[in-house]
Chain A
Amino acid sequence: MNQIQHALRDRPWRLQRQAVALVALGIFIAIFIGALYLAQSASVATLGRQLEELITRRNQLEQQNEQLREDIAELRSVPRLLARAQELGFEPAAENQIEYLYVPDYNPNREPVTAASTEQTQNLPVYDESFVGWVQQQWDNLAQQFQGFSGGGS
């Protein structure tokens, strides 16, 4: 005890240095957490942006699909099919050109048969994230962003 008191009397800045070190550590931790939070926010914002782009893209594709379906419906309109069939040498069948057959157990008014839906098991991603892994991921993100800011990357 005497030795400590002696040491502090001899070098008083040691106490100051310890206090400053504690404050600095606190500040460092605060900065670290703030940086992690910033990285997280930036990551979410980036994902949000990507999501928005994907939604826009999806809407565009849906519109294109709709347009294509309309085009197909126009191309399959009766007058066009009729003209095309005649170009290919077909002609409407006359009543006496049709041969009717009896098919056992065939019911012409039956309900349309549709393929049974095959149940698919959805493979959900395995949740194996640990706290250390999460911190590492955030750190990597942060590092990546800083690299981006500094124009580096290679």
Chain B
Amino acid sequence: MASVQPAPSRDQMFNQRLPFVIIGMVIASVLLVFKLVSFQQLSLDVVNELRPDYNRTVNLAAARGLIYDQSGQRLAVNTLEYRVGLSPNLVANPQRTATQLAGILNLDELTVYQATTSDKTWELLAAPVSAEVGQQIEQLKQDGLTALTIEKIPRRSYPQGALAAQVLGFVGGELQGYYGVEGKFQDQLTGRPRTEVVSNIPFDVPSEQEADKGSDIYLTLDRDIQFLIESQLLSAVQSTGAKSGTIIVMNPRSGDILGLANYPSYDPNDPLAVKDTLWKDTAISNEYEPGSVMKVVTVAAALDKGTITPNWTYNDQAVLDMAGIKVQNWDRQAHGVVDTTNVLVQSLNVGAATISLAMGPTDYYAYMSKFGFGKLTGVNLEGEASGTMHVPGDSDWSESNLLTNAYGQGVAVTPLQMITAVSAIANDGLMMQPNIVAKIVNNNGQVNVAQPIALGRPITQDTAHTVRDMMVAVVQNGLDDGAQLPGYTVAGKTGTAEIPVPLGYKQDAWIMSFIGFLPADDPQVIVLIKLDEPTTGRWASQVVAPVFRQLAQRLVVLMEIPPDAVRLALKAEGAAASGQGG
């Protein structure tokens, strides 16, 4: 008979089971801790497998620096456009998607529908689209249309349109600047793009990723003056039938370019709409024979050298037969005994050639070199040409060059070179380097202000004043009286030049120009106007001098230059006040 064992008590049962429960809990806890640790610390195999995806390399494009005029008006800014595409295999409802997208992108619904049902992995829908449309697409994507891809395309924008296009240049693919300031200051404007390694792990705090923005550039250009000269140039070209033209406005004291306009021009927002020849800034790259404007430089050189004096005279017999050529006056007339001033006032080729002949080639070309002919001015714009001035020793120089160069033939200059040379006369003999940049502000806010640079002193102050007075006489008593501006003393000189072609000169076509500055006794502005092949007159004094007057009328208002009487009275009042104060 089997013995019956007593049933274990409650305590005994508890004591027997407790270890199992505890062991179970311990195992569960250990597993929990193990999972906790393994969750934080991935196994080596997994780490190695994921390592390539741990980080990604991001190219951070630097924002291009902005371009402003001297008063802080924006001339070039950055904006965004978008490229919109979609992955057809992720589109749930092609019909509805096509309807939505066609409306926003202004596309044919059928075309969009075909894209949404395409077999391709990705379809381009539209590019470029504006920022507004891009934001609508972005919203659509956030609302659940995940098949959409939207890619930002940085774009350079010129909010003033075609204003100062050839000064600014433009930005092409890969944000590379071409021509003008954009091309010349590419390195400063483009900033420093960076490559950053960014973690894909969500637990990592994102680092502040930002490339170094490009420097902002403030130009010496005045937007209002630029607009004025562009309007005047267009009007002059239309009214004179000229094919093209250039106007430069400069401060002769500092060399600062206040305005620079060429016709024809283009819109830098769409540079590909025109031929690439229009991209060049013709004011600094196109060479031309300056004609009689050169006479002021010849006279200045001879006076400074002491070859002639203001009272010097010669007997003008209409023709100078020397060095195998016959130099003739514009009117083919003999003018008898003529002094230095009247060589300019009557714009006599024979007189200018006589003077350069008297100087001799060595001195004459030494002065031409001092005035910067045949050399770059060093203006901070891309594409400057140096001009051509043959000198003794060159294979293509002959003695006849000495005669013709004196009145601006057989020498090629750029408009900027010519105005720079004459500005030395306006600036008491000191020739300043033309400059388009007022200051550069870099990414750290550091400001680099451009300082005026003197290219040299080709003539003395006395000589400069003497020639200046002669140029005043040219406008007051001479052929260029059309340039007179009531109330102001203007110094100036016109030039009518023939256009060289491979076999001589072009028939019935001229380049007409005028360079003038005011107020003559304290020049604040110097202006060059050049019209190519105008058809409404034979001489620059008839065609270009009046254009200068119209331009100067507005210019003195914009630049707040008082009439001479007012200015001198105010000056006297100021002197008296400071005298009393002292």
Q: Could you say which of A1-9, A64-72, A119-127, A136-144 contacts chain B? A: A64-72
Cα of A2 to Cα of B36 in the assembled complex, Å:
44
Contact B570 A100 (CB under 8 A): yes
Is B95 among interface residues, defined by CB-CB distance under 8 A? no
Residues of chain A within 8 A (CB-CB) of B227 are: 78-79
Q: Which of A27, A95, A108 contacts B553 (CB 8 A)?
A: A95
Q: How many residues of B contact A (CB 8 A)?
A: 50
Cα of A34 to Cα of B35 in the assembled complex, Å:
10
Residues of chain B within 8 A (CB-CB) of A79 are: 227
Contact B557 A94 (CB under 8 A): yes
Output the least CB separation between A53 and chain B (Å). Answer: 10
Contact B131 A67 (CB under 8 A): yes
Cα of A20 to Cα of B29 in the assembled complex, Å:
12
Closest to B553 in A: A95
Given known pairs A27-B33, A34-B37, A100-B562, the reply for A48 and B205 (CB within 8 Å) is yes
Output the least CB separation between A82 and chain B (Å). Answer: 8
Q: Which of A20, A48, A92 contacts B554 (CB 8 A)?
A: A92
Closest to A45 in B: B203
Is B173 among interface residues, defined by CB-CB distance under 8 A? no
> Among the interface residues B30, B205, B573, which one has the most CB atoms of the partner chain A within 10 A?
B205
Is A134 among interface residues, defined by CB-CB distance under 8 A? no
Contact B563 A95 (CB under 8 A): yes
Contact A27 B26 (CB under 8 A): yes
Is B97 among interface residues, defined by CB-CB distance under 8 A? no
Q: Which of A30, A34, A48 contacts B206 (CB 8 A)?
A: A48
Is B104 among interface residues, defined by CB-CB distance under 8 A? no
Cα of A77 to Cα of B77 in the assembled complex, Å:
14
Closest to B130 in A: A67
Contact A78 B223 (CB under 8 A): yes
Is A133 among interface residues, defined by CB-CB distance under 8 A? no
Residues of chain A within 8 A (CB-CB) of B79 are: 66-67, 70
Cα of A35 to Cα of B33 in the assembled complex, Å:
9
* Interface flags, B203-236, vs A, CB<8A=1, else 0: 1111010000000000000011001000000000
* Interface flags, B167-186, vs A, CB<8A=1, else 0: 00000000000000000000
Residues of chain B within 8 A (CB-CB) of A83 are: none
Which residues of chain A (61-105) have a CB below 8 Å from chain B? 63, 66-67, 69-70, 73-74, 76-79, 92-95, 98, 100-102, 104
Output the least CB separation between B139 and chain A (Å). Answer: 12
Cα of A78 to Cα of B556 in the assembled complex, Å:
18
Output the least CB separation between B16 and chain A (Å). Answer: 9
Residues of chain A within 8 A (CB-CB) of B40 are: 34, 37-38, 41
Output the least CB separation between B377 and chain A (Å). Answer: 24
* Interface flags, A20-50, vs B, CB<8A=1, else 0: 1001100110110011011001001101110
| Count class of interface residues, chain A | 35 or more
Given known pairs A48-B204, A63-B131, the reply for A95 and B29 (CB within 8 Å) is no
Residues of chain A within 8 A (CB-CB) of B205 are: 44, 47-48, 51
Which residues of chain B (550-573) have a CB below 8 Å from chain A? 553-554, 556-557, 560, 562-563, 566-567, 570, 573
Is B15 among interface residues, defined by CB-CB distance under 8 A? yes
Cα of A151 to Cα of B276 in the assembled complex, Å:
67
Cα of A85 to Cα of B560 in the assembled complex, Å:
20
Given known pairs A13-B19, A77-B163, the reply for A70 and B157 (CB within 8 Å) is yes
Cα of A108 to Cα of B567 in the assembled complex, Å:
13
Contact B73 A76 (CB under 8 A): yes
* Interface flags, B143-177, vs A, CB<8A=1, else 0: 00000000000000101110100000000000000
Output the least CB separation between B132 and chain A (Å). Answer: 9
Is B18 among interface residues, defined by CB-CB distance under 8 A? yes
Residues of chain B within 8 A (CB-CB) of A101 are: 570
Output the least CB separation between A101 and chain B (Å). Answer: 8
Cα of A49 to Cα of B202 in the assembled complex, Å:
7
Residues of chain A within 8 A (CB-CB) of B129 are: none
Q: Which of A37, A77, A104 contacts B574 (CB 8 A)?
A: A104
Residues of chain A within 8 A (CB-CB) of B26 are: 20, 23-24, 27
Output the least CB separation between A111 and chain B (Å). Answer: 10
Is A154 among interface residues, defined by CB-CB distance under 8 A? no
Is A16 among interface residues, defined by CB-CB distance under 8 A? yes
Cα of A48 to Cα of B204 in the assembled complex, Å:
7
Is A135 among interface residues, defined by CB-CB distance under 8 A? no
Cα of A141 to Cα of B566 in the assembled complex, Å:
79
Cα of A13 to Cα of B205 in the assembled complex, Å:
51
Closest to A76 in B: B73
Is B509 among interface residues, defined by CB-CB distance under 8 A? no
Contact B202 A30 (CB under 8 A): no
Is B78 among interface residues, defined by CB-CB distance under 8 A? yes
Residues of chain B within 8 A (CB-CB) of A51 are: 205-206
Residues of chain B within 8 A (CB-CB) of A38 are: 36, 39-40
Contact A93 B557 (CB under 8 A): yes
Contact A48 B203 (CB under 8 A): yes
Closest to B68 in A: A73
Closest to A73 in B: B159
Residues of chain A within 8 A (CB-CB) of B224 are: 78
Closest to A67 in B: B131
Closest to A54 in B: B206
Cα of A38 to Cα of B41 in the assembled complex, Å:
11
Residues of chain B within 8 A (CB-CB) of A24 are: 22, 25-26, 29
Closest to B486 in A: A95
Closest to B571 in A: A102
Residues of chain B within 8 A (CB-CB) of A73 are: 73-74, 77, 159-160
Output the least CB separation between A103 and chain B (Å). Answer: 9
Given known pairs A67-B131, A95-B557, A98-B557, the reply for A48 and B202 (CB within 8 Å) is yes
Residues of chain B within 8 A (CB-CB) of A48 are: 202-206
Cα of A20 to Cα of B30 in the assembled complex, Å:
13
Given known pairs A24-B26, A66-B78, the reply for A45 and B19 (CB within 8 Å) is no
Is B197 among interface residues, defined by CB-CB distance under 8 A? no
28 A-B residue pairs with CB within 8 Å: A13-B15, A13-B18, A16-B19, A24-B25, A27-B33, A30-B33, A31-B36, A37-B40, A38-B36, A47-B205, A48-B204, A49-B202, A51-B206, A55-B206, A66-B78, A67-B79, A70-B157, A70-B159, A73-B160, A77-B163, A79-B227, A92-B557, A95-B487, A98-B557, A100-B560, A100-B566, A104-B581, A108-B560
Known: A34-B40, A73-B77. 5 other contacts (CB 8 A): A31-B32, A35-B36, A51-B205, A70-B74, A102-B570
Q: 8 closest pairs, A vs B, by CB?
A: A73-B159, A78-B227, A34-B36, A73-B74, A100-B562, A27-B29, A102-B570, A74-B159
